């Protein structure tokens, strides 16, 4: 598979890099960023945390603003940061910030004009990990995390693919597209009006369907700022907590007074997320 390196910077003894490749799933050129800790060599392959960013972001926001490289270097964990939608002049867009480019919602679109390129679910769950594992000194231990729309992506991709990802975490996630305006708008456009087709992209609905022994399912950690302007209308993390408690799913929801929806919140608690994933990735 064609892959070109665009940038490489030494960071905390490891390498922060950016690549471009030709995605078959998305039918376009895609960029992603990867942090390789100093421990990663062909003789010593390291596990990978996939980080999914939120609305309007590219692969670069988390790289520059989260400060995650320090702890990733300490733990010996790679981080892979995909873009948030297909890109390029051939890809259909919308002028709104919450639809089209920068707003792929990590799902496989079925509706026109979106279906040709907007297949972010398959890209993040399968195509990108295969590319990473074929080309970088990483093993097949994977965890997944994200912010806001990316938290939605991490929860839905993680829940639907156990045990493909050993652990799942999210900052300020959209936990139920069925129950918020961002979700209704995006899923109507990408999936159509039949809400029965939305449930596989709704973490709360996925959680409700879980049955039996949950002790070996990937544990979930969610952090939420209480000064987040989107908390009441869009995020509603208690819906996920309630559904998880009903099925005895391993979950922790931590709330933090005074913190908002910004990367300043993510940076303040990213170390704890990396440590959470390390406990499962290195088990």
* Residues recognised as catalytic: 148, 228, 261
Helix, coil or strand: residue 247:
coil
Is 263 a residue that touches a second copy (CB under 8 A)? Answer: yes
Helix, coil or strand: residue 119:
strand
Pair type for strands 14-23 and 28-36: antiparallel
Is 227 a residue that touches a second copy (CB under 8 A)? Answer: yes
Choices 44-52, 75-83, 97-105, 258-266 (CB under 8 A): range interacting with a second copy: 258-266
Cβ nearer to a second copy, comparing 80 with 157: 80
| Cβ-based neighbours of 19, under 8 Å, separated by 6 or more | 3, 4, 5, 6, 31, 32, 33, 34
- Specify whether the backbone of 78 is left (phi greater than 0), alpha (psi in -120 to 50) or beta: beta
User: Which contiguous run of DSSP H or E holds residue 48?
Assistant: strand 46-52
Helix, coil or strand: residue 64:
helix
Q: Which x/- pattern, by CB under 8 A, does the window 206-225 give for a second copy?
A: -------------------x
The residue among 7, 123, 12 whose CA lies nearest residue 66 is 12
Binds a second copy by CB under 8 A, chosen from 1, 6, 9, 41: 9
In the complex, minimum distance from the CB of residue 37 to a second copy, in angstroms, rounded to a whole number = 12
Cβ nearer to a second copy, comparing 66 with 235: 66
Binds a second copy by CB under 8 A, chosen from 43, 193, 258, 283: 258
* Count of residues touching a second copy (by CB under 8 A): 22
Biggest CA-to-CA distance, the chain: 50
Binds a second copy by CB under 8 A, chosen from 191, 259, 274, 281: 259
User: What is the footprint of a second copy within residues 65-94 (CB under 8 A)?
Assistant: 65, 67, 69-70
| CA–CA dist 225, 255 (Å, integer) | 6
Cα dihedral 248, 179, 104, 245, rounded to 10, equals -10
Cβ nearer to a second copy, comparing 17 with 156: 17
Cβ nearer to a second copy, comparing 12 with 126: 12
In the complex, minimum distance from the CB of residue 78 to a second copy, in angstroms, rounded to a whole number = 16
Pair type for strands 251-256 and 220-225: parallel
| CA–CA dist 150, 101 (Å, integer) | 14
User: What is the footprint of a second copy within residues 48-67 (CB under 8 A)?
Assistant: 64-65, 67
Binds a second copy by CB under 8 A, chosen from 110, 139, 268, 275: 268
- Can you read off the two tokens belonging to residue 49? 């945390």
Cβ nearer to a second copy, comparing 72 with 180: 72
Contacting positions for a second copy (CB under 8 A): 9-13, 16, 64-65, 67, 69-70, 225, 227, 258-260, 262-265, 267-268
């Amino acid at each position: 598979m064609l892959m070109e390196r665009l940038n490489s910077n030494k960071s905390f003894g490891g390498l922060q890099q950016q690549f471009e490749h030709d995605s078959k799933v998305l039918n376009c050129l895609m960029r992603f960023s990867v942090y390789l800790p100093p421990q990663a060599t062909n003789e010593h392959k390291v596990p990978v945390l996939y980080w999914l960013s939120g609305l309007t972001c590219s692969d670069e926001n988390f790289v520059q603003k989260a400060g995650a490289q320090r702890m990733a270097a300490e733990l010996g964990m790679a981080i892979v940061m995909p873009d948030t939608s297909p890109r390029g002049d051939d890809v259909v867009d919308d002028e709104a910030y919450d639809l089209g480019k920068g707003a792929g919602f990590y799902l496989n679109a079925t509706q026109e004009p979106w279906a040709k390129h907007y297949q972010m679910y398959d890209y993040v769950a399968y195509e990108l990990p295969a590319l990473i594992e074929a080309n970088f000194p990483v093993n097949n231990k994977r965890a997944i995390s994200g912010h806001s729309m990316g938290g939605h992506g991490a929860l839905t991709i993680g829940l639907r693919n156990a045990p493909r990802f050993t652990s799942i975490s999210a900052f300020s996630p959209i936990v139920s597209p069925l129950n918020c305006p961002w979700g209704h708008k995006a899923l109507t456009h990408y999936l159509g009006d039949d809400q029965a087709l939305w449930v596989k992209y709704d973490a709360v609905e996925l959680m409700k369907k879980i049955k039996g022994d949950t002790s070996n399912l990937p544990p979930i950690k969610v952090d939420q700022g209480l000064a987040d302007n989107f908390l009441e209308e869009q995020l509603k993390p208690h819906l996920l907590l309630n559904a998880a408690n009903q099925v005895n799913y391993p979950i922790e929801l931590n709330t933090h007074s005074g913190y908002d929806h910004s990367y300043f919140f993510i940076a303040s608690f990213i170390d704890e997320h990396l440590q959470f994933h390390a406990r499962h990735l290195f088990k």
